[in-house]
């Protein structure tokens, strides 16, 4: 259940021969993301469990299970900022009900990220996914 934006990333990754090219592409995706306003970087939006500083601010349009999900995100680490951009492509525009059904680890596995991230980065990525899933689940139940 990947979005068109995520499918575009997956197709681009298929063109790269080695992980270094994919790594650089993830960083470029992060650089292309609009910056998150400093005022939103609060303890409430900070994602615990990440080695880097990570903030995710959900943006919901509508109410209940059909509300459209989006988020703003940022990190002090370029690769993590890129991972946030990948997650944004995976989830943005889905309903909150759909967000709760996405198997993010399987989708990200298509990119080979699971094989090339350090254990700290993998744990941080899982923490970001858990935060997004929790927000979507809560919003869907309202």
Catalytically active residues, by annotation: 50
SS3 135: helix
SS3 49: coil
Locate 21 and state its tokens. 């090219």
Nearest partner of 10 among 32, 25, 20, judged by Cα: 25
Beta-bridged to residue 73, according to DSSP, are 56
* Measured distance CA(33)–CA(56) in Å, rounded: 13
The whole-angstrom distance between residue 84's C-alpha and the CA centroid of its chain comes to 4
Q: How many CB atoms lie within 10 A of CB 14?
A: 10
In this structure, the strands spanning 68-75 and 54-61 are: antiparallel
């Amino acid at each position: 259940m990947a979005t068109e934006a995520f499918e575009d990333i997956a197709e681009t990754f298929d063109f790269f021969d080695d992980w270094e090219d994919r790594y650089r592409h993830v960083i470029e995706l992060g650089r292309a993301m609009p910056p998150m306003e400093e005022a939103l970087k609060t303890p409430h939006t900070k994602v615990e469990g990440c080695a880097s500083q990570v903030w995710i601010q959900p943006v919901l349009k509508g109410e209940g299970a059909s509300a459209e999900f989006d988020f703003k995100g940022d990190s002090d680490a370029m690769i993590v900022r890129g991972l946030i951009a990948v997650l944004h492509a995976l989830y943005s525009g889905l309903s909150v009900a759909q967000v709760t059904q996405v198997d993010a680890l399987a989708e990200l596995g298509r990119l080979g990220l699971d094989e090339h991230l350090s254990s700290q980065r993998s744990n941080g990525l899982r923490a970001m996914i858990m935060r997004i899933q929790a927000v979507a689940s809560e919003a869907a139940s309202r």
